[in-house]
């Protein structure tokens, strides 16, 4: 038999046949979804958040608000450590012309894995100090319990990022929905037996395990192996230097409110704030997914092929999505209290005011996030750092003043308008680049104003009808 030939017995083996069928099935699924990027992104988002809402409805009846406060502290610590060591490998791989090479991917995967091992060890050692920083010494053991999330996340394949680079948004969204279903089912099942925050932690670990498995089974490319390359590592470091500086400021911007409120309030009250944050996180996730998975790869592809067209398609690429989202976020601003009243029992009603405030920065993010990605594609990575400095200066002035005059709500309001100031910065950057169009920028805010008026009107109407005895309190 010639070298390299395959015998009939080998080619017809059950393992080879099953493997071939699996690969054909994955290819068929990718092909079927390839032309439905935006619709599938929103379809899976709706499905995921219906499940998230159903899960919250169940969990808020099985668990006390304290459970959400505990998990909020744990995830805040996790986020801080992630951002302190952020190297921006996702954007690095999407932007780099060499990212398709296996060795390149292996080196980046190795660097990410080593970083995660260091973070896990660090969190294990300093769990007591983190618990003391939040004035919650009873959380030392839970903090150690979640430290292995870092390693679990690093074990995932990089192929989902490469699929994002290739703009296979719909396929990625379906896989993520499958992982979320697994995690949600595990969390609810655990909560039935363990009526504490440990149920949520168990569900999160199951979700991480599902992500690892799907990242290798559902995407082509096989397993990574540990490899080192000084040139590739140096290239990543040069890219990461600005990202790391920007991420350090982002930590303060995103977590200062949670850290302060977590120290000031008891776990029950902090749980109300975190429940509101979880509700608005759905909108944040959609905005980030849309910008990072659709707009950024699209802008990057245009920049690589026909850069002269990039400025022309900037608003056209985002218009159909940002205006409807702005309307919905406006509804959240005006009707946050009504949303909480509809979804949860009376114990959670104070979370309504937090929902309203937390929708405000997301509204401005519809303008700032796409502008940031456009500038990154154009190679102006430092602009992200500059925008974060603007945010930092705003918080340094507004947060103490807000807290001094209005307490916790004043602090929340200061953070709510944190995106408004950098919006001015990004509009200036767009103007210098010859892209800015004030009419296009005004459309989402007009839609948000309409949504806020409707949301506020419905909230007042429901309160009036309940007070008049026309409808029962709910």
Model pLDDT, residue 467? 85
For the segment 358-383, the average pLDDT, to the nearest whole number, is 91
Model pLDDT, residue 210? 95
Least confident of 176-190, 256-270, 301-315, 319-333: 256-270
**Residue 50 to residue 48: CA distance in whole angstroms:** 6
For the segment 352-361, the average pLDDT, to the nearest whole number, is 93
**Residue 157 to residue 112: CA distance in whole angstroms:** 11
**DSSP string computed for 459-472:** HHHHHHHHHTTSS-
Per-residue pLDDT reduced to its tens digit, 236-283: 877 766 666 666 666 666 666 776 666 666 777 778 888 888 888 878
Per-residue pLDDT reduced to its tens digit, 98-132: 777 888 889 989 999 999 999 999 999 999 999 98
Residue 333 sits at φ, ψ, to 5 deg, of: -60, -45
Per-residue pLDDT reduced to its tens digit, 420-473: 988 999 999 999 988 999 899 999 999 999 999 999 999 999 988 988 888 887
CA atoms within 13 A on the CB side of 116: 16
For the segment 187-206, the average pLDDT, to the nearest whole number, is 93
Confidence of residue 43 (pLDDT cuts 50, 70, 90): confident
Least confident of 12-26, 88-102, 339-353: 12-26
Closest among 131, 141, 393, 356 to 262, alpha carbons compared: 131
* pLDDT above 60 (res 328): yes
For the segment 300-323, the average pLDDT, to the nearest whole number, is 87
Per-residue pLDDT reduced to its tens digit, 167-188: 777 788 888 889 999 999 999 9
* pLDDT above 50 (res 7): no
Q: Are 328 and 283 in contact (CB under 8 A)?
A: yes
**Residue 424 to residue 394: CA distance in whole angstroms:** 12
Share the mean pLDDT of the chain.
83
């Amino acid at each position: 038999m010639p070298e390299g030939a395959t015998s009939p017995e080998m080619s017809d083996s059950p393992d080879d046949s099953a493997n071939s069928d699996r690969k054909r099935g994955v290819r068929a699924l990718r092909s079927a979804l390839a032309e439905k990027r935006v619709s599938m992104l929103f379809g899976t988002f709706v499905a995921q958040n219906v499940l998230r809402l159903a899960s919250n409805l169940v969990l808020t009846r099985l668990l006390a608000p304290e459970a959400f406060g505990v998990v909020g502290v744990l995830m805040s610590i996790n986020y801080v450590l992630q951002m302190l060591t952020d190297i921006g490998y996702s954007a690095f791989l999407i932007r780099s012309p060499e990212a398709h090479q296996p060795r390149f991917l292996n080196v980046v995967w190795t660097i990410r894995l080593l970083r995660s091992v260091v973070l896990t060890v660090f969190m294990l050692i300093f769990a007591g100090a983190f618990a003391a920083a939040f004035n919650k010494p009873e959380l030392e053991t839970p903090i150690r319990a979640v430290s292995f999330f870092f390693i679990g996340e690093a074990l995932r394949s990089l192929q989902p990022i490469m699929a994002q680079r290739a703009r296979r948004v719909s396929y990625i969204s379906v896989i993520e929905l499958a992982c979320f279903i697994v995690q949600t089912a595990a969390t609810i099942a655990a909560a039935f037996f363990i009526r504490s925050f440990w149920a949520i932690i168990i569900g999160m670990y199951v979700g991480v395990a599902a992500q690892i498995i799907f990242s290798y089974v559902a995407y082509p490319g096989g397993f990574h192996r540990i490899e080192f390359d000084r040139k590739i590592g140096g290239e990543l470091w040069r890219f990461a230097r600005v990202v790391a500086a920007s991420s350090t400021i982002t930590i303060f911007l995103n977590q200062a409110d949670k850290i302060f409120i977590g120290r000031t309030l008891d776990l029950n009250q902090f749980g109300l704030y975190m429940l509101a944050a979880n509700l608005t996180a759905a909108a944040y996730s959609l905005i980030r997914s849309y910008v990072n998975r659709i707009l950024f790869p699209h802008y990057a592809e245009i920049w690589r092929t026909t850069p002269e067209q990039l400025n022309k398609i900037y608003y056209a690429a985002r218009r159909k999505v940002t205006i409807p989202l702005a309307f919905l976020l406006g509804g959240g601003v005006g009707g946050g209290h009504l949303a909480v009243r509809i979804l949860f029992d009376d114990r959670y009603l104070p979370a309504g005011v937090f929902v309203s405030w937390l929708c405000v920065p997301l509204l401005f993010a519809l303008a700032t996030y796409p502008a940031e990605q456009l500038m990154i594609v154009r190679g102006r990575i430092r602009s992200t750092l500059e925008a974060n400095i603007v945010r930092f200066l705003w918080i340094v002035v507004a947060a103490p003043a807000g807290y001094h005059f209005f307490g916790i709500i004043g602090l929340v309001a200061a953070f709510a308008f944190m995106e408004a100031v950098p919006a001015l910065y990004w509009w200036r950057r767009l103007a210098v680049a010859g892209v800015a169009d004030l009419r296009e920028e005004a459309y989402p805010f007009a839609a948000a104003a309409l949504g806020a008026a409707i949301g506020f009107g419905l909230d007042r109407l429901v309160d009036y009808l309940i007070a008049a005895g026309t409808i029962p309190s709910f």
